[in-house]
A and B are shown apart, each in its own frame.
Chain A
Amino acid sequence: MSEPVLSVRNLEVAFPTRRVTLTAVDDVSFDIARGEVLGVVGESGAGKSLTGAAVIGLLEPPGRIVGGEVRLNGRRIDNLPPEEMRKIRGRRIGMVFQDPLTSLNPLYRIGDQIIETIRTHSDISESQARERAIALLQEAGIQGARARIDSYPHEFSGGMRQRVVLALALCAEPDLLIADEPTTALDVSIQAQIIALLKRLCRERGTAVMLITHDMGVIAETADRVAVMYAGRIAEIGPVRDVVQRPHHPYTKGLMGAIPTTVGSATRLVQIPGSMPRLGAIPPGCAFNPRCAQAFARCRLERPEPMPAGQSQAACWLVAEAAAGARA
């Protein structure tokens, strides 16, 4: 098996405040192989955006990485000086954010923005870069790219802008693309288009993708594997079909039950009591234990690590019990 493009091991991100240090990402590990889409899903406060920011080195101070390591193609990038990291950002790692309106500079034509990015990371002439940009926009599904390359961002609709942002992120042919809620601000019909585009472009280029979202539906459509995050930790990680259809972790089960669907019965939605603990008030043992109907003594004392459950891994003592039971 070839080396993964992105390898995150025991990542810890903390925010020192006046009273106490808050751990927002707590011992998170995962790999992304070439051409693979890993979905990182979780509700707000789970730490998924922070994980993405930590990987690309855009953590806003006072937040910082306090433990673990991040490797891109085998090389450590979490401890690089800012100058080195700047070279990697854009060239090796591309990023797409949620709001297409603020991702593009409203004062510059989109063509100029793409050409600037291309020329920053590769040594080609202005006209060659322009041709590359036009080809990229056409690939991204923008009709009449040759004419529209000289338009300003406000002349495009939200969906169009997100296509431009995708093109921009991929123009330097990065190895890894981090997409943070790329479709959340878009209408449903446009969402489907953008997801399809993302899949196609990355599959063609073999780009590894870290797709951060709160929307399980998007994950089911797009991801090969998915990591479910809760209170800064990974609750479950595995192939998407497994996690979505046969979840092992009680939180994942609750989450799937809470999602309204258009098939099946239209009765009450499954409701997980309580809410995700605030960063300074994470309970000892398993972070989910106060809300879990199946919690027992061990859950309140020891924190579970991700352990094998079917084809996935789940951080849950129930899984360990089941495995022990099966062996006995």
Chain B
Amino acid sequence: MTAATAMPLVEAKGLTRVFDVSKPWLNRVIEGEPKALLKAVTGISFTIGQRETLALVGESGSGKSTAARMVVGLLRPTAGTVTIDGVDMWATARAAERQKLRRRLQMIFQDPYASLNPRWRVDRIIADPIKAFGLARDSAEIEHRVGELLKLVGLDPADGVKYPHEFSGGQRQRICIARALSSNPEFIVCDEPTSALDVSVQAQILNLMRDLQDRLGLSYLFISHNLAVVRHMATRIGVMYLGRIVELAPSAELFTSPRHPYTRLLMDALPDLGMSGRPRRPIEGEIPNPITPPPGCAFHPRCPWSYEPCSVDLPELVDLGGRMAACHAVAAGRI
């Protein structure tokens, strides 16, 4: 079974999420203001295969966290679909079916301090999914499984009786990973799992996640704002800007030849640890307000390569042979 013909494990089509952040009706009438709609995510599509890691990279306001929550079922999309192994997550009406689907996906969050209930013991936290999906026969089996999971993530099974505050940030993230693995999922969404950790701890956690992926055949959707981190984890990378995917390419290709202007400037903005003194072009301006985005391409006010169509037409994702970019200049071969 080749990768090309196998059905992807996760498929997102035209995912959109709009938040109504308008002021209350009375205020709007008195102040004469229109409704304010925040388009957090607009029309994103991607696929993730078995044992694959797709990364979504973007800065604040890019909508990557919102997208992650839609994929995992925590947030209902305003439009678009998410299918896991062919089953549409939001169309399934029966609770039992949805539970079966839920078992196959899990999530690891960004803040290791808020992702563990401070009043619960660690073993109870990890056992929660096991109990919720009825995966063990009795408490002895649960205890055994929790111990195994703790060992799997590099902790001591005896740590199960402790409370989260007795652990460091890196250790807590390991506990979160153990919890995510306890329901034997096939697909894990990781929302900036190492952003709150120190560099050396981050290295440990990223290595652990890669090892687990190899051992257990997991697929990851990896959300991050750090291109360098993503390079070590992802097979393919999607760059997001103001709710849209502006570039989607295999990891190695993205780094050797970024096409979209935003990707290029983002790479340039990364600090130069090699201290090569290469000439860099700083990105001007700020991320625009998602309630009132610029017309045409959302990036055009900050883009050094923008020309006439950029402020008029929204560029679509164009297939460039194994990779995609949403840019008029790239599509026209200008850059």
A261 adjacent to B228 (CB under 8 Å):
yes
Is A307 positioned at the interface, with any CB of B under 8 Å from its CB? no
Is B286 positioned at the interface, with any CB of A under 8 Å from its CB? yes
Cβ contacts under 8 Å, B267 to chain A: 262
B10-18, B90-98, B194-202: which lies at the A interface? B194-202
- Given contact pairs A262-B228, A262-B267, A268 touches B199 in the complex (Cβ within 8 A): no
Q: B204 touches which one: A157, A214, A256, A271 (CB < 8 A)?
A: A271
The distance from the CB of B162 to the nearest CB of chain A, in whole angstroms, is 15
Bound-state Cα–Cα, A44 to B270, Å:
22
B207 adjacent to A268 (CB under 8 Å):
yes
State which residues 165-202 of A face B: CB under 8 Å. 187-193, 196
Is A114 positioned at the interface, with any CB of B under 8 Å from its CB? no
The 3 closest A-B pairs by CB, nearest first: A217-B271, A258-B203, A43-B198
A260 adjacent to B206 (CB under 8 Å):
yes
A192 adjacent to B200 (CB under 8 Å):
no
Q: A259 touches which one: B171, B199, B287 (CB < 8 A)?
A: B199
Instruction: Give me 6 other A-B pairs in contact (C-beta within 8 A), A44-B198, A262-B267 excluded.
Output: A188-B226, A188-B269, A192-B271, A244-B275, A245-B275, A260-B226
State which residues 246-274 of A face B: CB under 8 Å. 254-263, 266-272
Interface centre among B227, B270, B282 (most CB of A within 10 A): B270
B283 adjacent to A271 (CB under 8 Å):
no
Q: A258 touches which one: B200, B270, B283 (CB < 8 A)?
A: B200
Residue of A nearest to B171 (CB): A275
B226 adjacent to A191 (CB under 8 Å):
no
Is B64 positioned at the interface, with any CB of A under 8 Å from its CB? no
Bound-state Cα–Cα, A160 to B286, Å:
9
A191 adjacent to B269 (CB under 8 Å):
yes
Bound-state Cα–Cα, A58 to B210, Å:
43
A262 adjacent to B270 (CB under 8 Å):
yes
Cβ contacts under 8 Å, A13 to chain B: none
Cβ contacts under 8 Å, B269 to chain A: 188-189, 191-192
Q: A244 touches which one: B201, B227, B273, B287 (CB < 8 A)?
A: B273
B170 adjacent to A275 (CB under 8 Å):
yes
B255 adjacent to A275 (CB under 8 Å):
no
B203 adjacent to A271 (CB under 8 Å):
yes
B200 adjacent to A220 (CB under 8 Å):
no
The distance from the CB of A276 to the nearest CB of chain B, in whole angstroms, is 8
Is B28 positioned at the interface, with any CB of A under 8 Å from its CB? no
The distance from the CB of A158 to the nearest CB of chain B, in whole angstroms, is 8
Q: What are 21 A-B pairs at a CB distance below 8 A?
A: A43-B199, A187-B59, A187-B287, A189-B59, A189-B269, A192-B283, A215-B271, A216-B273, A217-B270, A255-B200, A256-B273, A258-B203, A260-B228, A260-B232, A262-B255, A266-B231, A266-B251, A266-B252, A269-B202, A269-B232, A272-B204
Q: B168 touches which one: A193, A221, A256, A275 (CB < 8 A)?
A: A275
- Given contact pairs A188-B266, A191-B269, A196 touches B282 in the complex (Cβ within 8 A): yes
- Given contact pairs A187-B59, A187-B60, A217-B270, A192 touches B282 in the complex (Cβ within 8 A): yes
A255 adjacent to B199 (CB under 8 Å):
yes
Is B39 positioned at the interface, with any CB of A under 8 Å from its CB? no
- Residues 195-235 of chain B, each 1 if its beta carbon lies under 8 Å from chain A, else 0: 00011111110110010000000000000011111011000
B200 adjacent to A263 (CB under 8 Å):
no
The distance from the CB of A284 to the nearest CB of chain B, in whole angstroms, is 22
Is B274 positioned at the interface, with any CB of A under 8 Å from its CB? yes
B271 adjacent to A254 (CB under 8 Å):
no
A220 adjacent to B272 (CB under 8 Å):
yes
Bound-state Cα–Cα, A188 to B268, Å:
10
Is B265 positioned at the interface, with any CB of A under 8 Å from its CB? yes
State which residues 85-119 of B face A: CB under 8 Å. none
The distance from the CB of B173 to the nearest CB of chain A, in whole angstroms, is 12
Residue of A nearest to B287 (CB): A187
Bound-state Cα–Cα, A217 to B273, Å:
6
Cβ contacts under 8 Å, B199 to chain A: 43, 214, 216, 255, 258-259
Bound-state Cα–Cα, A215 to B228, Å:
13
Interface centre among A187, A191, A263 (most CB of B within 10 A): A187
The distance from the CB of B115 to the nearest CB of chain A, in whole angstroms, is 18
Bound-state Cα–Cα, A44 to B112, Å:
15
Is A54 positioned at the interface, with any CB of B under 8 Å from its CB? no
Bound-state Cα–Cα, A268 to B287, Å:
33
Bound-state Cα–Cα, A84 to B238, Å:
55
A269 adjacent to B206 (CB under 8 Å):
yes
Is A304 positioned at the interface, with any CB of B under 8 Å from its CB? no
B286 adjacent to A157 (CB under 8 Å):
yes
The distance from the CB of B110 to the nearest CB of chain A, in whole angstroms, is 14
Is A87 positioned at the interface, with any CB of B under 8 Å from its CB? no
A189 adjacent to B283 (CB under 8 Å):
yes
A220 adjacent to B275 (CB under 8 Å):
yes
A260 adjacent to B229 (CB under 8 Å):
yes
Bound-state Cα–Cα, A50 to B117, Å:
30
B273 adjacent to A193 (CB under 8 Å):
no
Cβ contacts under 8 Å, A245 to chain B: 275
